[in-house]
Structure 1
Amino acid sequence: MMNYNSLQLRIGIIGLGNAGSALLPSIAKHENVIVTAASGRNKERLEKFAHDYNADYHLSVEDLCRSEQVDAVYIASPTELHVEHVQIATHFKKHIIVEKPLAVSVEEADLLIHAAERAGIHLIVGHSFSFEPPIRKMREMIEEETLGKVRMINNWYFNDWMYRPRTPEELDTLLGGGVTYRQGSHQFDIIRYIGGGMLRSVRAMTGRWDELRPTEGAHAAFLEFEDGTAATAVYNGYDHFLTTELTFGIGEGGPSIKPKGYAASRKAIQKLKNSDEERTLKSQKGYGGNQSKNYFEEKHHQPFFGLTVVSCERGDIRQSPNGLFVYGEDEKYEIQLPNVTGRDVMIAELYDAVVLGKPPVHDGRWGKANLEVCQAVLESARERKEIYLSHQVAADPSLRRVSK
């Protein structure tokens, strides 16, 4: 068990793909958090990780969660395995960060929330982009009414998501695949966090425009908050127009994107012979793979999850490479923000919850509320009608006791 007197939190990582690897620098930055173990399917990758970090490795999630060298786990396994892996972690009373989306249905989300409550552990959902400094600063400015009351929030993202290497499960909506579950969960998280959390309804359409990639590759959603604030979430992952043209050439993690040629991702995928080749290519992007990123050396601007523009009564706000541009009534000015990543703040939120007892923003109920929006977008598109929401919670944890 954790020695709370030492103030050190020991994390085990479940899944050493892109997400699991990307968290390692943020763990290293926190003076009181260390990584002590990992589990996964690739033994060679696990052995390299164990050597690099002087850590343990396990071939099963159960063995990792049983370890007395682990206080909390980061579940970066595929979405369809989240329910199983969260339940194992709660059984062994390990605190949890689980990648988004929390599950594939609100019923599954409830199951996991209640399991965490019974175990007396913290469950945080890793919607890392609302942890980013520009998004948190937008929320702060809205709370302070720097430009008056917020009236409209827009996030538009055009990219190549559908043609990055994918497993078959990532292209199966029933297993939580497609852009609405996998990427909409980020969009709705950003919009809900900026606007205070309490959405009222959703009207949306989705698009499946490539029969060889049989899941949602695009959506357009109109979201209305309880207070009347309007929002739009537009996503197109079909690798034509890219919003990096509008975001200073800066992408999700904050690096400058080097042009690879028009539709390079789509053309590369079309050259593969079958899904096995694609699965192999995706695996090479995980820890120690020959196409893996070096997240420790990557240089960052502020990260851009597409184009986010917030309109208030007396001005607009959008991101700049180093913070925010504010378009006020009399002048345009820039706010410089600290160069930290959302994952840094996510690790701090887990630590503060476990060690300092500070209620997390991104708890299980917050993750459930984002999942409800994902499902509502799919339902609205299918039924061609407005869907009213019933599981939304406030961005301020202290207000959740009165949230519906």
Structure 2
Amino acid sequence: MPRPPIRIACVGAGYFSRFHYESWARMPEVALVGACDHDLAKAHATGLPGFVELAEMLEQTVPDVLDIILPPAGHSEAIRTAISAGVGTIICQKPFCSSLDEAEAMVALAQHAGVTLIVHENFRFQPWYRAIKSAIRDGLIGQVQQATFRLRPGDGQGPDAYLDRQPYFQKMERFLVHETAVHLIDTFRFLLGDPVSVYADLRRLNPAIAGEDAGLIILEHPGNTRAVIDGNRHLDHDARNLRCTMGEGLFEGTEGTLSLRGDGSVWHRAFATRDQIQRLAPTDDDSFGGGCVHAFQRHVVNGLGGTGQIETLAEEYLEVLRIEAAVYASAQSGARHVLQARGA
């Protein structure tokens, strides 16, 4: 007998939410049952039953899963409301909550209630990072010694920066790291393991925004490996779609290198050679990040169905926020910050 579809309701109908709704709609195992937003017209525009009040939507639609597609300030209230309504699984967009303390409190609350809480972290599901992970695991470039990502979305200049897409970006007092670089921190954890120390130099270039929009972050990973996140939202890179990869990456090992280009392609060069061999073709998926939202949501559905383990459970994702806190502490002190081992 076939299983009934997973009933999913969503709160948030802003700019990025369309990638969520489109992805859920493609899955035969899923039934979208409602959309909630403070702007009722936006909720109705999804084509689903629309609501302004989250509690009302949860009571009327009785979802199995709530997908929270809100800025950080709305996360804890939505999580509390969903837990009170008896929702068994909650997916929450990143940045996860407004602070590490708040995130830890939400994880504890969910665990106490027996609720599965998942962070919507999609960069590690971008096809190029899956290809790079596979190549590193297979030993294609030997021992990785250095990894670099140059974040260059080219969207941060001038007084109108971000206003046409996600205007709340301008008011975030912690921006480049809390909103964007957390993706890369999690990705480097996925590729290289948890870092043991961080050093950061952060700066604000655009006076129209509240937070930092450029900086350098050095992560020390196990095996004496270093990863560098070189972020500058003012500058661009060579790509038709600057938001495809949002920059360029280089992963260097004792037996060769892997290069990530702005079109999503991955190239391999063996040590002591000049030949570049394509490992992954440019993406033909024009949705965000090479279809990473759908890849993530498919991963979650598979996990809820018992096929595979969900990678971004909130209790695990807290480590990203601890690293983020260390990045800001390092930038403030000007010193390298050693990370405490989990469980220590």
After TM superposition, is the score higher than 0.5? yes
Whole-angstrom CA distance in 1 between matches of 2:13 and 2:120: 15
**Corresponding residue of 1:372:** 322
Q: Which has the higher contact order (CA 8 A, sep 6+)?
A: 1
Aligned match of 1:21: 18
Matches for 1:186-335 after TM superposition, within 5 Å: 186-196=183-193, 198-237=194-233, 239=234, 241-243=235-237, 245=238, 248-252=239-243, 303-320=244-261, 321=263, 323-329=265-271, 330=273, 331-335=275-279
1:346 aligns with 2:341: no
In the alignment, the residues of structure 2 paired with residue 377 and residue 368 of structure 1 have an alpha-carbon distance, to the nearest angstrom, of 14
Distance 1:156 1:234 in 2: 5
Alignment TM-score, normalising by the size of structure 1: 0.75
Aligned position for 1:83: 76
The answer to whether residue 334 in structure 2 is matched with residue 384 in structure 1 is yes
| Cα distance in 1 between the residues matched to 2:167 and 2:266 | 36
Helix, strand or coil at the partner of 2:305: helix
| Aligned residue identity for 2:208 | L
Residues 128 and 280, structure 2, Cα contact 8 Å, conserved in 1: no
CA distance in 2, matches of 1:230, 1:236: 19
What is the CA deviation profile of residues 202-244 of structure 1, one whole-angstrom value per residue up to 9, with x for unaligned ones? 100111233332211112111101322100011112x3x312x
1:239-295 superposed Cα distances (whole Å, 9 cap, x missing partner): 3x312x2xx33332xxxxxxxxxxxxxxxxxxxxxxxxxxxxxxxxxxxxxxxxxxx
In 2 relative to 1, CA 67–326 (structure 1 residues): closer, same or farther, beyond 3 Å? farther
Letter in 1 for 2:131: K
Partner of 1:400: none
Deviation at 1:359, TM superposition (A): 2.1
List aligned pairs for 1:107-146, cutoff 5 A.
107-146=101-140
One-letter code of the match for 1:63? E
Give yes or no for the alignment of 1:62 onto 2:51: no
Aligned residue for 2:141, secondary structure, equals coil
Alignment partner for residue 39 of structure 2, among 31, 38, 42? Answer: 42
Amino acid at match of 1:61: L
> 1:352 offset after TM fit, Å?
1.8
Q: Choose the corresponding residue for 2:146, options 149, 152, 160.
A: 152
Change (3 A) 1:170 1:9: farther
Which residue identity does 1:155 align to in structure 2? F
Match for 1:220: what amino acid? L
TM-score of the aligned structures, taking structure 2 as reference length: 0.87
Q: Is the 8 A contact 1:73 1:89 kept in 2?
A: yes
Aligned-partner Cα distance in 1 for 2:316–2:170: 23
* CA deviation string 1:336-373 (max 9, x = no partner): 36856111111112112222163211111332122222
For residue 325 of structure 1, what is the amino acid of its counterpart?
A: W
Bigger CA drift: 12-21 or 356-365?
356-365
The amino acid of 2:50's aligned partner reads Y
Q: Structure 1 residues 99 and 161 mapped into 2: Cα distance closer, same or farther (>3 Å)?
A: farther
Partners of 2:131 and 2:280 within 8 A in 1: no
- Whether 2:179 is the aligned partner of 1:182: answer yes
Say if 1:356 and 1:334 are closer, same or farther in 2 by CA, change over 3 A: same
| Aligned-partner SS, 1:74 | strand
Q: Which of 91, 100, 105 is the matching residue for 1:97?
A: 91
What is the distance in 1 between the residues matched to 2:167 and 2:205? 18
Distance change (3 Å), C-alpha of 1:137 and 1:67: farther
> C-alpha displacement at 1:132, in angstroms?
0.8
Q: Which runs of 5+ in 2 are unaligned?
A: none
